[in-house]
Amino acid sequence: MVYLAGQINTIISCMNCEESGNTTMAKKAKQIDVDPRLCKGCHICISICPHGVLKKADDVDNRGFFLPVVADLDACKVCRLCEMECPDFAISVVEVENQEIKN
């Protein structure tokens, strides 16, 4: 369990694996979409990500915002904290189907 203090006061439990019998279903992201029409560049998603998947863009968009961009998709564990904490519902994580790791 992770407790994040500051502007975001949330208790979050890790949900990056689902266990079923003797097989662990490892969650992996196929892609992370940030809708530039909805995102205001608050960077809550960057701050909340425990794996450093998102970073601030190098350039501003046409509205003058530094939007979040994917820095390391392979690091994403599909915890969906970025989706849940985004106040503008601008982020969606697309999960890879049926990733299995044998114990």
Residues 6+ apart with CB under 8 A from 56: 43, 46, 66, 67, 68, 69
The CATH T-level fold of domain 2-102 is Alpha-Beta Plaits (3.30.70)
Question: Would you say the C-alpha torsion 23, 32, 43, 69 has a positive or negative sign?
Answer: positive
Domain boundaries, the chain: 2-102
Please give the Cα distance from 24 to 100 (Å, whole number).
6
When comparing pLDDT for 63 and 103, which is higher? 63
**Tens digit of each residue's pLDDT (9 = 90 or more) over 59-97:** 999 999 999 999 999 999 999 999 999 999 999 999 988
pLDDT of residue 29: 87
Q: Listing from the earlier edge strand, what are the strands of the sheet with 100-102?
A: 17-20, 23-26, 100-102
**Tens digit of each residue's pLDDT (9 = 90 or more) over 18-53:** 555 555 566 888 999 999 999 999 999 999 999 999
Token pair for 86: 């985004």
